[in-house]
Amino acid sequence: MNTSRLLTGLATALAATALALPSALAETPALYPVQGYLTDADGAPIDGELDIRFRLYDASENDVFTELATVNIDNGAFTHYVGSVESLDAELFAQFSELSLGVKVGTDSEMSPRMAVGSVPYAARANSAAVADVAAELAGFNLLDFVPRDEAASITAGMLAEGSVDVAAVDGAQPIYRVTNDFCDVRPGTLSFRSKCYANQKHVDSCNNTCNRQTRARMCNGHCGCVNHTIILTPCPIGQVCPPPPPNPWPSAPQCDNELVGHILPQ
* Domain enclosing residue 69, as ranges: 3-137
Residue 96 lies in a domain: yes
Can you give the pLDDT at residue 23? 40
| 183 and 124 in a common domain | no
Domain count, the chain: 2
| 100 and 39 in a common domain | yes
Can you give the pLDDT at residue 257? 94
Last residue of a domain, one of 117, 137, 157: 137
| 175 and 49 in a common domain | no
Residue 110 lies in a domain: yes
| 253 and 179 in a common domain | yes
Last residue of a domain, one of 137, 159, 176: 137
Residue 239 lies in a domain: no
Can you give the pLDDT at residue 3? 39
| 124 and 189 in a common domain | no
Residue 205 lies in a domain: yes
Which CATH number goes with the domain that contains 43? Answer: 2.60.40
Residue 154 lies in a domain: no
| 93 and 34 in a common domain | yes
Mean pLDDT of successive 10-residue segments in the chain (267 residues)? 36 38 47 84 88 93 94 91 88 82 90 76 56 58 62 60 65 87 90 89 89 88 84 61 63 87 80
What letter represents residue 139's amino acid? A
Residue 24 lies in a domain: yes
| 103 and 62 in a common domain | yes
Residue 113 lies in a domain: yes
Can you give the pLDDT at residue 63? 93
Residue 32 lies in a domain: yes
Pairing of the two strands 255-257 and 115-116: unpaired
| 127 and 8 in a common domain | yes
| 266 and 176 in a common domain | yes
